[in-house]
Amino acid sequence: MRRLALVVTLFVAVAGPLRAEPDPQAIQGIISSQIEAFLAEDADAAFAFAAPNIKRRFGTPEVFGRMVRQGYPMVWAPEDLRYLELRRIAGTWYQKVLITDDDGALHVLDYAMTETADGWRIAGVQILPAPEVGV
Residue 3 is predicted with a pLDDT of: 58
For residue 88, what pLDDT is reported?
Answer: 97
Q: Are 113 and 27 in contact (CB under 8 A)?
A: yes
For residue 89, is pLDDT > 90?
yes
Specify the 3-state DSSP secondary structure of 68.
helix
Whether 102 is in a domain gets the answer: yes
Mean predicted confidence (pLDDT) in 28-40:
98
Where does the pLDDT of residue 135 fall: very low under 50, low under 70, confident under 90, or very high at 90 and above?
low
Q: What confidence category does residue 11 fall into, taking pLDDT thresholds of 50, 70 and 90?
A: very low
Residue 17 predicted with pLDDT over 50: no
Total count of domains within the chain: 1
Q: How far apart are the first and last CA of the chain?
A: 65
Residue 81: which domain range?
A: 23-128
- pLDDT over threshold 70, residue 1: no
pLDDT, residue 7, reads 43
Question: Any idea what the CATH number is for the domain that residue 45 is in?
Answer: 3.10.450.50
Residue 7 placed within a domain: no
More reliable by pLDDT, 17 or 113: 113
Q: Note whether residue 58 is domain-resident.
A: yes
With residue 124 as reference, give the H or E element that holds it.
Answer: strand 119-128
Q: What is the pLDDT of residue 133?
A: 61
Angstrom distances, CA of residue 79 to CA of 9, 18, 21, 88: 52, 39, 30, 28
